[in-house]
Amino acid sequence: MATFNSQMFYLGNFAAMDTVESNTEAENPGLILGTYASPELINVTVSDANNDGALSDDEMGTTAGEDISFDVGFGATTQFIDTTLVYNVTVTLGDGSTIGIYGTVIQSQDGNTFLTDYANGGSFDNLSVQSFSLTSLASSNYTGFFADSSVDNTSVICFASGSPIDTNMGERAVETLSAGDLVRTLDNGYVHLIGAFSTPVGNQASDQPILIPQGALCNGLPNSDSWLSPQHRLMVSSPVAERMFGEKEVLISAKAFLECDEVVQKPALENMRYYHLICERHEIVFSAGYPVETFFPGDYGLKMMSSTATGRRAARLVKLTNHERCKPARNFPKMLRQKKLIERMVKNDRPFWVPNAKKPMRIQAFDLSRKSIAS
């Protein structure tokens, strides 16, 4: 039996879409139509029992002994696949532009529902996603999916309203920032933003922000309560990371810090929104004194930016032809390994980051005459 470790978007737990097992159609495909802001990526283990490269569902009331294993917050479970469907999906990228793609939806027998690549074609790979909408059903007569289907090198990142960001004028709330403002970075001094965008917090439980209380990570940091989207990555710098990943500094998703007793996922505050900060390259900035990432442009998302006027303007500003600017500021371990890192550091009572007393003061050159990208 072949097994595959995949990443998929978790949509939530829904009533069964396939209620009649004597045909190959799903009777209630409209249950999951709608918009998912800051969708959660989780690890799914796929077991291909007959090694044919595909997993079959039980739409005709039979299974092939093939299943998926996952943990959506209530403990690990293994489930057969109840139904698979194909939807038309509109994805909103980090620059505000949209793309239309197909997506495969997988519902397990316990109602947990996931979204992954259609036919493992890579359409969801290498994106920076603000949100996506399942707009309509493309096919309900879809009786399985490729076993190696996975969403790879894609991120959903954003700051919640009120997050303080270090700038050349001191800390400023993220919602007050716009193109041309100077933000303090870990690697490159003060650099200019080339764009800032916001999206509403989604209604799904998995969309809700992660609250990191003041002082929960190290030496009084963050210096105030910090709210981030579940996928937003924070810096971890530790010998433990070096032993696990071969490098001392890595970027870890906010939801992985739920392994810390103090860190919780809570319903969004009234009128809270998620904000996305874009620099000329992927940067590490400071929110409430702690290093966190900016928007990361994956290769596929950057390619799709050229399809809109806003995207073309952004492409010129960030010089997308220079691939070096599309590299992550630090590596992103797989989610299971991220959780293991946090578990080990909590167990051994290790700080997640030790700040350097010296703050960068240089300012990156920037042509303010070309600064604006519509917010």
Task: Collect all residues with Cβ–Cβ distance below 8 Å to 58 and sequence separation of at least 6.
Answer: 21, 80, 81, 82, 109
The tokens for 202 are: 């989604």
Q: CB of 231 within 8 A of CB of 265? A: no
pLDDT, residue 165, reads: 95
**Dihedral-angle region of residue 65 (phi above 0 means left; psi in -120 to 50 means alpha; beta otherwise):** left
7 against 250, higher pLDDT: 250
Read off the pLDDT band of 131 (50, 70, 90): confident
Give the SS3 label for residue 255. helix
DSSP percent split of the chain into helix, strand, coil, nearest 5? 15, 40, 45
Give the SS3 label for residue 347. helix
Topology of domain 159-366 in CATH is Endonuclease - Pi-scei; Chain A, domain 1 (2.170.16)
Rounded CA Rg of the chain: 21
Give the SS3 label for residue 46. strand
Average pLDDT across the chain, whole number: 80
Most trustworthy range by pLDDT among 72-81, 83-92, 115-124: 83-92
Task: Collect all residues with Cβ–Cβ distance below 8 Å to 169 and sequence separation of at least 6.
Answer: 182
Give the DSSP letter of residue 65.
Answer: S
7 against 324, higher pLDDT: 7
Q: CB of 102 within 8 A of CB of 87? A: yes
14 against 157, higher pLDDT: 14
Task: Provide DSSP, 239-290.
Answer: HHHHHHHSSSEEEEEGGGGGGSTT-EE-PPPTT-EEEEEE-SS--EEEETTE
Q: CB of 59 within 8 A of CB of 271? A: no
Domain ranges of the chain: 2-146, 159-366
Is pTM beyond 0.85 here?
no
The tokens for 129 are: 């996603």
Read off the pLDDT band of 115 (50, 70, 90): very high
- For residue 239, whether the previous peptide bond is cis, meaning omega lies within 30 degrees of 0, is no
